Amino acid sequence: MCWSATADLVAGTGIACVGVACVARVRRIGDLPLAALPLLLGIHQLVEARVWQVEGGSGPAVIAWTVIAFPLLALWVPLAVVCAEPRPVRSRLAIPALSGLVTGAVLAYVIATRTVRAEIRGHTVGYVIGLPHGQLLVAGYLLATVGALLLSGDRRVRVLGVLAGAGALVCWALWRLEFVSTWCAFAAVCSVVVFEWVGSRRRSPDSVEFSPSS
């Protein structure tokens, strides 16, 4: 989330471009989901730019933003980390992956059965969903996303987890105060970390290469 439609549009375009570059650099099939994360985050920002433009409400842009933010990322992040890790490390990612599956399924059901609404609140956008057992779902979401990153065997992915966790805390605090939305800044930094991670994987001697165009 950013503080205006223009900020979301600029940040989303930049992050999406980094995402395209990450995908283009991939040489391991298993790295592709995690490498594509910045592209997904960039698209997410662009969708929110549309939410700003229509002044919130409950239209298609709001639904798309909510689907990406909640069930999709809860599933995507832990499974992407699992795909990128060597087999000996994957076993310790079982709990975050399971948490992502369960949390994502519940969030998808809630979005499908309830009205989702966005409200413009100064320099923030508030998304009203009405989650049942909200604290439990938030815990499951953070375990799936931040937890999976922190349990990675790769130092750069763990750094990404620290950034995501810190970003979530800071952005939540500012959002609660209805001061300003700043997640786009953290998303941009995280995207650069992913770009560096993809580069480090290309230099690894035990890579199994493939061509994205094949």
Note down pLDDT in tens along the chain; length 214 residues: 677 899 999 999 999 999 999 999 999 999 999 999 999 999 999 999 999 999 999 999 999 999 999 999 999 999 999 999 999 899 999 999 999 999 999 999 999 999 999 999 888 888 888 888 888 999 999 999 999 999 999 999 999 999 988 888 876 666 554 445 667 778 888 999 999 999 998 776 554 444 444 4
Residue 156, in any domain of the structure: yes
Overall domain count for the chain: 1
| CATH code, 46 | 1.20.1070
Q: Read off the amino acid at residue 101.
A: L
Give the helix/strand (H/E) hosting 124.
strand 124-128
Answer for the pair 62, 118: CB distance below 8 angstroms, yes or no: yes
Q: What pTM, to 2 d.p., does this model score? A: 0.88
Residue 209, in any domain of the structure: no
* Interatomic CA distance for residues 155 and 89, integer angstroms: 13
Range of the domain at 152: 5-203
